[in-house]
Each structure stands twice: as C-alpha cells, then as structure tokens.
A and B are shown apart, each in its own frame.
Chain A
Amino acid sequence: MFQYVVKRVLSIIGMLILISVSVFALFFAVPADPARLTCGKNCTPAIIEANRHALGYDKPIVVQYFDFMKGLVSERDFPDDPVIAKNSPQSITHCPAPCLGYSATQGQLVSTMIKQAFPITASIAVGAFVLWLVGGIGIGVLSALKRGSILERGLVGASLVAYSLPTFFIGLLLLDIVSIKYGLAPPAGYTPFVDDPVAWAKGMILPWITLAMVFAALYVRLTRANMLETLSEDYIRTARAKGVPEWAVIVRHAMRAALTPIVTIAGLDLGGVLAGAAITETVFNLNGIGKTGVYAIQQLDLPVIVAVVLLSAFVIVLFNFLVDLLYAFLDPRVTL
C-alpha cells in the first residue's frame, strides 16, 4: 500500500515533467513569434526585441525551460536583467515562489491569474458535480426500478436527448430563453462564496445546469444499466431469500454494488471538469481555468498555456490516483 502510493506519486511527478517538456517543445514548434504579439499595431522592431529580451524569449529553449522549473521552487524577477533592475527597479515585477511566470499579454503574474480563475472553475465544477451525480444517479436508479413503465421510457428518452445536445447549445439555450427572455434565472456571474453564498449560487445556477445536463444524461444510462445488471445478480436473490426488506435490498445490496464502479467515473469526470470547463465558461463569460487557457492559446501566451496545461494535467492525474485509492477501499477484491 505504502509502496503503491510512493510509486504512484513518483509517476505523477514524472508525468508532469514530461508534459511540461512537451508543451515547451510544442510551443517552439509553432510558427509564430510570441514577442510580436506583446505589442499592438504601432510596433517597432526595437520594442519587439526589447520585449523579447524582457520576457526571456531570446534565451535558448532549454534555458527557458530550466528558468521555469527553477521558478517553481525559488522566486523570479521579470525581466530578469540586472541592468534594468539597477536603472529602473519600479519596472521589475517580482514573482514569489512557486512562480509560474509572467504574462506579458495580460501584464500579470500567471499565479495571480490562476488564483483568480481556479475558484471560478471550482465553483462551476463542484456545483455541477453534485447536481449531475444526484440527478443522474437518482434518475438512473428510478428508471431501473420502474423498468418497462412509461416513466422509465420518458426518463431514458429525455436523457438521450440531453446527452446528444452539445454543451454550448444547451448553454446558449438556457442563457437566451431562460435567463434573458423570460428572466427565470439570474444571469451567470461570479461572486466569491465567502463574500455572499447566495449571490454565488445565483450566479452559478445556469453554468451548473448546463454542465450537469450532459453528464447527468451519461450517468442516467450508466446507473440504469449497472442497476439492471446488479438486480439480476444471484446475491440480490439471496438477500430477498433472507427476508431483507425490499428497500434494503435496493439500497444496501443493489446500489452498493451498482454504484461502486460509478465512483470511478465520477471521480475522473470531476477531475476533468476541475481542469477547466472551457465551453461552459466561454458561453457564460466566466474567467475560469478553461476560458483563461483558451484565451492564452489564442494569444500564444506561453507562460499561461504552460501553467494551465500543467495545472489541468495535475488535477486529472491527482483525481485518477484518488479514485484508484477510493476504489480499493470500496471494493474488497481490489488490492493495491
């Protein structure tokens, strides 16, 4: 068990290094000049060169990579130039460790941007997660128990429709009709939870519903299929033959077995959404991780791209790991 954890942690670190190298390499393979993108229309070659130097884009890629890695453990300064530091210290941006870099396009430290974006994404993700888990599993179990009824056909049909609609379509539909036209729900917007929980929830309702719809539909189908399979298992018959009341047969015996594999999928999906819900964030104009990442790619903003990709990758592999641990805990047949 301990060995397993150590091994997994090491492999996660290795993977993140590999990803960061790939992102750096990929970025330099792109035939565009990031320094050119740092200033607007009336740009002179001199300014571009100055910016290039200030951002360190003139250094060899390997050096840039190691500067970045060093920044993760020690502080950095932008631009990292002793001459400028001496002449005009006020133009230096100090970046405390762990330093993820400096975005020239945004004129901000990347860590500051991430610190602002992550709570937004987390708010969307966690709320939507609860919604789709409760909704998806609830409807899934219900439709399995009411097998063959009109209710079941309706629920399964509805989930099929929800599943086949693209996220942006659902989002825009909700935004246009529910919120703008009929004013049934407040428009989306982010208020930190600690400031005002009610405003926080109000602003998140539409993104939650949007994101949860697609996932919930998937979970309805998964749950229903697992429940139907489990209900025909021999041990369910055993439970009934023991005289266990039907509700306990369903909850203690059937759901316990049918939902365990769903835990895995749910964990992975939550990880995926925490890594950025790009479409939902874009539709509702929320500056979460996903939207930040998309914008950074459009701007070829290397430090932001690297940070977002690494963060996303980290969240995903971390959840992978947590899910494996949880699964071993839930299924006694699995040993680590």
Chain B
Amino acid sequence: MSEQARHLLEVDDLEVHFPTADGLVRAVDGLTFSLEPGRTLGIVGESGSGKSVTSQAILGLHRGTPAKVSGRIRFDGVELLDLPIKDLRRLRGNDISMIFQDPLSALHPYYSVGKQIAEAYRVHHSVSRRQALARAEEMLELVGIPNAGRRVHEYPHQFSGGMRQRAMIAMALVNDPRLLIADEPTTALDVTVQAQILELMKKLQREFGSAIIIITHDLGVVADIADDVLVMYAGHAVEQGAVNEVFYQPDMPYTWGLLSSMPRIGSPRGQRLATIAGSPPSLIRPPSGCRFHPRCAYRGLVEGDACVTTPPRLVAGGADHRARCHLEPGARERVRLQLSTIDSVGER
C-alpha cells in the first residue's frame, strides 16, 4: 500500500482508440508509466506517436468524443477514468493543469489575459472578480511579465510568443497544481525564449514543488529539464527510465536512432547523420510483433523471427530502466559501443 502511495500519477495499460472511416486508430495502445511527486517526466517521440493524446487522456479531455479510452489512470490514488465528470472537473486546472504548444491558439482571442487567468482561479475558488484579477496580476508578475498591472488587461494578440507562453504558465499555476502537463511548451518558440521558459519552469517547480510531465520531440529539452524519460513509439512506451540511463545507456534501436540522428554542436562536423529508415507505422494496422521491426536495423541480431511475430515486453534492464526489445543484453552492449555519438557522450 505504501508502495502505491508513493506515486502521484500511475498510468496503467492506457488505450486511446479513435474510430474513423478507415478503421480504428490505435493512437495510444498499452501505455504504462508512473510519476512521483515533484519530479519531471519527459515524454519524447516522433509526431503521431501519441504524446498529446496521452496527456489529454489524463485530464479526461476525450470524454464526450467518440474516442475509446480504457486502462487505468490513478492520480493520488483516485481512479480518473471512471470518475464522475463533476469530480474530474474539480481536479482539472486545480490539481492537474496543462499548457499547450501554441499559446496563441490556446488562449481565447476575445478575453483579456487577466480575465482568462482569473477565470481559472474563480472556477476553483469562491472569490470576487476583483480578487481573482488581483491574483492574475500576481501570477503574471511571478512568471516575469513586466508591467503586470497593465498587461493583465491586454489581449493575447498584444503579447509576444514568449509572453503568451508565460501567461499560459501563469494560468496553469494559478491554483498551485500538483501536476503540470506541458505539451510541447517551447516547440513554437525561439531557442532564446525556450531557454527562458525552461528556466522559469524549473524555478517554479522548485517553488511550488509540482510534478511536471513535459512532452517534446527535442531531446535537448529532455536532457535539460527531465528526471525521467519515456520514449514513445506508435502508441506505447518503447523505453523508459532515469534520464542519464536513457541517454547514456539507451537500450533499444529506436532510442539509438533518435539519439544518433541529431546533429550535435559538440560532435565532428560533416559526417553523415544516422537515420531511421522508413516512416512511422500505420496506427490502424500496426506492424506485427515489435512495432518498430519494419524500420529496425538491428533485428538481424535477434535469433529467429521473434521481432516479426512476438511483441517484446517492457523488460527491466537496470534498476530504473526498462526497454521493449528482443535483443540480448550482450548484443545491446556491443551496439552501444559502436554508436560513436552515444559512446562519446557516454564518458561522463
């Protein structure tokens, strides 16, 4: 029991399927992970791997749509999937809040930034409009928006991209949530602004102690901010573990591909980049066996045709590290040694 109470969030065998004219889209298909209070989990993966769908499932945002959601999502011991909508709403924006990739489209164009933050506060606190607006101003100040007293009355289109994302963060944190889900919060921003936003999130996490799930496709962002990493491929986790484990001891071919296809500022210039052959699989008819097998360059190292016939299970490789691959530990070790990019950064 105490083992369970340790987790703030437990996602178990989550499935989110969308019925479409072409067939059932298995956007998330058997995803399992957990998160402890105050920690940061980075979810990485190609676009279409199910990252956003997962984050929306946690908040129950697929309710009322044709999507079929099953599995278990426990937040602080409470099962969210069959929680009555009234109770779920009490959690949304209060205990769990969310920020999105494009802050311009995520903010309502017709209401001032202050009003929108105040609304998030008033939904969960019985205070007057004026008190809520004062709180909004306080939050804007906290996230580093200059002239917050004036800015609170301005509209989203009057803010720059970075300011808007700060405002979104202010809105997400106005109720001091225990979990903040950030879905590609810096993808639409310049690196300089991204750096500001990441610093801000780290600082606020230190102050508020919230757990964070940060979704991104930028491994640099994960390396910067995450304690744990979850690598998603075609709707499920293919590797997960502590950030150093996954970056320095990556345990399966897709992660190898991701890590070595990135050009790096520190590595020798001019050599060809590693690539991952092929393209992401159909989520309607996912490949048999290992979902990555059609693109995998290493399945020759696995004896027999297990990769094509049998889905690999998520198996623990280290204390805090699991991967979904049929390769023997010895073979993995040999490949890691060959991959220069991973090798060179592996020397800590």
Interface residues of A (CB under 8 A from B): 233-235, 237-246, 253, 256-257, 260, 330-333
Contacts and interface: CB of A to CB of B under 8 A. Distances in A.
Nearest to B90: A243
B108 interface: yes
Nearest to A253: B108
Contacts of A239: 108, 119
Contact of A237 (B61, B123, B124): B61
B97 interface: yes
Nearest to B59: A241
A238 B120 CA distance: 10
23 contacts: A235-B106, A235-B109, A237-B56, A238-B106, A240-B59, A241-B59, A241-B93, A242-B97, A242-B119, A243-B94, A243-B120, A243-B124, A244-B89, A244-B93, A245-B89, A256-B108, A257-B110, A331-B110, A332-B110, A332-B112, A332-B155, A332-B157, A333-B157
Given A235-B106, A241-B61, 12 more contacts: A235-B108, A235-B109, A240-B61, A241-B59, A243-B89, A243-B90, A243-B123, A244-B123, A257-B108, A330-B110, A331-B110, A332-B155
Interface residues of B, number: 29
Interface of B: 56, 59, 61, 85, 89-94, 97-98, 100, 102, 105-112, 119-120, 123-124, 155, 157, 171
Nearest to A235: B108
Contacts of A331: 109-110
Given A234-B102, A238-B100, A243 B155 contact: no
B100 A333 contact: no
B107 A235 contact: yes
A18 to B, nearest CB: 37
Contacts of A332: 109-110, 112, 155, 157
Contact of B92 (A234, A240, A253): A240
Contact of A242 (B109, B110, B111, B120): B120
Given A234-B100, A237-B100, A332-B157, A243 B93 contact: yes
A288 B283 CA distance: 64
B55 to A, nearest CB: 10
Contacts of A243: 89-94, 120, 123-124
